[in-house]
Copies of this chain bind each other. A is one copy, B any other.
Amino acid sequence: MDVIEELKRFRSKDIPYHRVLSSMCTIPHPIAVEAHKLFIETNLGDPGIFVGTYELESNVIEMLGDLLHNKRASGYICSGGTEANIQGIRAARNLKRIEKPNIVIPKSAHFSFEKIGDILGVEIRRANLDENYRVDIADVEKLIDERTVALVGIAGTTELGQVDDIRALGKLAVENDIFLHVDAAFGGLVLPFIDEKIPFDFEVKGVSSITVDPHKMGMATIPAGGILFKNEVFLRALEVETPYLTVKSQFTLTGTRPGTGVASTYAVLKHLGFEGMKRIIDNCLKNTKIIVEEMESLGFEPVIEPIMNVVSFKTEKAERIKEELYKRKWVISTIRNPKAIRMVIMPHVTEEVIAEFITEFREVIRKV
């Protein structure tokens, strides 16, 4: 068999996106795919060769910075949220250079912070959440000590799409002279487009760095994560010398890195513009409301009233429902505290997908 035919056979075993309600990624926008293909050979690890692609990256960082209230933000397009979070915390750690550093993060932070603690040798202190599943600011304050190098706030938690009180965290950060990293991997490209203005980005005093992933709500191609620092000083804390390259130093985590994510991010943001992005986000929020209404009519209550296009519904049968749906090739996920099923209403989760899903969901809950 021809190798391309073989590959198609493997690919056909993947579950198609229109049956996936668990992922924060989505089908990339057609303009993203077109842009990606043009940059398939590029390597931003060597900016002296890929001069134009590197210039494009500066533009993308400026566009993202602008959206996040800081045109002068420094940063780069990386492999994804984990690298972005590593780099934020690594900068914080390196700026302080103290023994046995710790960071204070919400209990709602993404599991990758566990990885980051292991990788960077930083103790992870998990602050409790309040009744709305936002980080409890008093608890954060209690956990801060002289070895705390960073606070972390989440703008769009993985489980509920909740947004921490970044202003209160910013105040704590300034008062204690601590770095504040905001993980807005998901929310960073949702919150700027919704009507309710929730402060979470560089407009908040004290915010040092932000993770914002174009390959999530930015509909860019994978890999396209983003790390933005308030200014260049923070980036400098990550630099190593690069003897063989066309540049003298490197602040990225990876060496060789594709320009495809830069191109696809640029393409989507430029092609859609603010209004075009807003239309897509609005539609996701409208579809989230439809899901909530359908689920409520079936007796399921959302854990919190959704702020963005992520919603979880309380049920003791969460695991069984997930498994039964998976047998039927529908993918949702579960959360543990409280026990709930979780859905992310990405652009590929259209009204038609929701109607199909709810039909099957009704059958499943009769069975479990």
A43 in contact with B28 given A52-B13, A256-B223 (CB within 8 Å): no
Interface residues on A, range: 35 or more
Is B49 a contact partner of A4 (Cβ separation < 8 A)? no
Is B331 a contact partner of A49 (Cβ separation < 8 A)? yes
The answer to whether A42 has its CB under 8 Å from any CB of chain B is yes
CB neighbours of A83 from chain B (8 A): 79, 253-254
CB neighbours of A56 from chain B (8 A): 7, 10
Is B7 a contact partner of A266 (Cβ separation < 8 A)? yes
CB neighbours of A215 from chain B (8 A): 256
> Of residues 1 to 38 in A, which have CB atoms within 8 Å of B's CB atoms?
3-4, 6-15, 17, 20, 22-23, 25, 27-28, 31, 33-38
CB neighbours of A326 from chain B (8 A): 48, 246
Report the bound CA distance from A25 to B256 in whole Å. 8
Given contacts A13-B55, A222-B260, A244-B335, 11 further A-B contacts (CB under 8 A): A3-B271, A11-B53, A12-B52, A25-B43, A45-B80, A48-B331, A81-B256, A90-B118, A121-B121, A223-B256, A243-B336
The stretch of A109-117, A138-146, A164-172 that contacts the partner chain:
A109-117
The answer to whether A342 has its CB under 8 Å from any CB of chain B is yes
> Of residues 31 to 68 in A, which have CB atoms within 8 Å of B's CB atoms?
31, 33-43, 45-46, 48-53, 55-56
The answer to whether A365 has its CB under 8 Å from any CB of chain B is no
A79 in contact with B223 given A49-B23, A55-B10 (CB within 8 Å): yes
Is B7 a contact partner of A333 (Cβ separation < 8 A)? no
Q: Which residues of A contact B (CB under 8 A)?
A: 3-4, 6-15, 17, 20, 22-23, 25, 27-28, 31, 33-43, 45-46, 48-53, 55-56, 79-83, 86, 90, 94, 110-112, 114-115, 118-121, 158-159, 213, 215, 221-223, 225, 240-246, 250, 253-258, 260, 263, 266-267, 270-271, 326, 331, 333-336, 342
Protomer copies: 2
Is A254 a contact partner of B49 (Cβ separation < 8 A)? no
Is A82 a contact partner of B253 (Cβ separation < 8 A)? yes
Partner of A256, one of B17, B80, B244: B80
Q: State the Cβ distance, A359 to closest chain B Cβ, in Å.
A: 21
Q: State the Cβ distance, A64 to closest chain B Cβ, in Å.
A: 16
Is A38 a contact partner of B7 (Cβ separation < 8 A)? yes
